[in-house]
Structure 1
Amino acid sequence: MNQLQSIDRLSLNQITTNRWSLKEAVEGSARAEVPWIALWRHKIEEIGLKESKRIIRDAGIKVSSICRGGMFPAPTEAERKERIDDNRRAVDEAAELGTDVLVLVCGPAPNKDLSGARQIVADGIEELIPYAKERGIKLGVEPLHPMYAAERSVIVSLAQANDLAEKYSPDEVGVVVDVFHIWWDPDMFKQIARAKGRILGYHVSDWIVPTPDLLMGRGMMGDGVIDLRPIRLAVEEAGYKGPIEVEIFNQEIWDQPGDDVLALMKDRYIKYV
C-alpha cells in the first residue's frame, strides 16, 4: 500500500489551527515535531514580517508555502493594478520567509464574464512572473472545486491549471494539487500525470458526507469519502516529493485545542495519506 512511515514531509497548513496565531502555530508544530508549516498572509500581517521570520527561524520550522496570491480579476484597471501590487508583496513575503512557493487562488469574475476573468488571470500571472523569478519564487496555480467559481476562483479544474502553467517553464509556474478540490474529477489521474515536473504543492483533507458547508466542511483525513493514498502515489509518480500540507476549514476542528488537532493530524496522515 506504500504507507508513509514518517512525518518528515508533513506540513501544518496554518488554517487548520485557525485560532492559533502564527507564533502559536509555529511553536505547536515544533512541540509536535511537525517539520513544515504553510503560512497565511493575514497571520503574518498580525505580527509583521520581521517578527514572523524570527519566530520561524528560532523554532527551526521550514515553510512549505505562502497563501495566498492571486485574486487577479477586478472591476477596473486601477483595481487590477492594485491586485498585481499586492501579489508582488506576497512574493516578497515568500522570499523573506524562506519558501519558494506562492500559492495562487486566482479569484472570481467581478461580473458574469467568466472567460474574460480567466484571461485576466492569465494576464496577471504573466505580469507577475518576472518579479517572482527575480526573487526565486515559483507561482503555484491552485484550481478550486467548481462550487467556488462565483466567490473564489474561475480556475476550477486541474486541466485549466495545467493549461496556464504549461505556457511557462516549471521554475516559473506550476500547479498545486488539493484533493478536496479535484477528487471528483474523472480526469484527475490523467491531469496529475500531465503535471509531471511542475507540481509545486500537495494538500490533503477529506470530503465529508453529507457536506455540512461549502467552505467550512472539510474533514480530517479518514473522516470522508476521498481515497487519499492513490492520489498521493500519483502525485509522487508525477515527480512531487515535497511537503504534504494538511489544509482544513472546519469550525469543529478549529474549536479543538491545537495540540490535539496536530496529534490527530499526525495519526491520520500515517494511516490514510
Structure 2
Amino acid sequence: MRKSLVALSVLAASLPAAVNAADYTDGDIHKNDYKWSQFNLMYAFDELPGESSHDYLEMEFGGRSGIFDLYGYVDIFNLSNSPSSDKAEAPKMFMKFAPRVSLDALTQTDLSFGPVQELYFATLFNWNGAATTNSDGSVNTASVNNSFWGLGSDINVPWLGKVGLNVYGLYDLNKKDWNGYQISTNWFKPFYTLDNGSFVSYQGYIDYQFGLKEEYSSASNGGAMFNGIYWHSDRYAVGYGLKAYKDIYGIKDSDSFKSTGISHYVSVTYKF
C-alpha cells in the first residue's frame, strides 16, 4: 500500500501520443503494447503509520499487452538485515499488483467521452505475507492481504495531462469481508527540460479510503497524498517525495501510534 500507479504514467508520458488513444475499433488491440522495468533504491523518513525510517529496494515493472494493463512492484526491506532496523521484526517483503482490463479494447469500442480517454475493469492486490492467527483466535492484522475491485479510467486534466483515476471496493482477504471503498488517482507532469534532454517532473498520487467498517477500522476514512519532484534521464532518475497522511489505512491517529502527519522519501533509480 506504499504507493500508487506513478511509474506507469511516467512511461506513458515518454511514449508517442498514439499510446494515449483509446480507439480500438480497427480491431488492433496490440497497437499500444509496451513494457518496462526498473530498480529503485529508496529511504523513507518517518513513514506512517508508526513513524518508521528505513531503507528498501523496489523492483518495479509494468506495461500493456492487448486488453491488459499492468503495474506492480516488490519491496525488499532492511537490505543489510540490521537487527537495529525498525523493520528487523517486520515482514521482509511487500508486493503490489494492479492489473486492469481495458473495456475499450475488450469490446473494440471507443468508450471515450469528454475528458475520459479509456475505461477499465480495475483490480489491485497488496500482500506482505500469509495471514497468521493469534493465540486468542483473532487474525494478525499486521499481515496485509487486500484486494480491490472496481472501475478505472484514464482522464485528461488541464496542465497535468493524462491522469489515472480508479474507484474500488475493498475485499479483505484475511477477514473474508468487504470493508469500504478507495479512490486512487495518479499523475506525471514534466515541467522543465534541460539542454541534454533530461527533465524534471512533478509526479504523485492520492489514495483515499472511506466507508470503512467500525469492527475493522478505528477511523471511517483516511488516506495519503504523495508529491514528488524527480529528475529523469533515459537510464536514471533521482527524486524526493513528500507524503501527507490522514488516518492512513483507517487507523485513528493517537499519541501512542501516529497515522497522521508528514513523511519524506529519497530515491535513486536505474531503468532497464
**Normalised-by-shorter TM-score class:** 0.3 to 0.5
Higher strand share: 2
| Bigger RCO (CA 8 Å, 6+ sep) | 1
Higher helix share: 1
Normalising by structure 1, what TM-score? 0.32
Higher CA-based Rg:
2
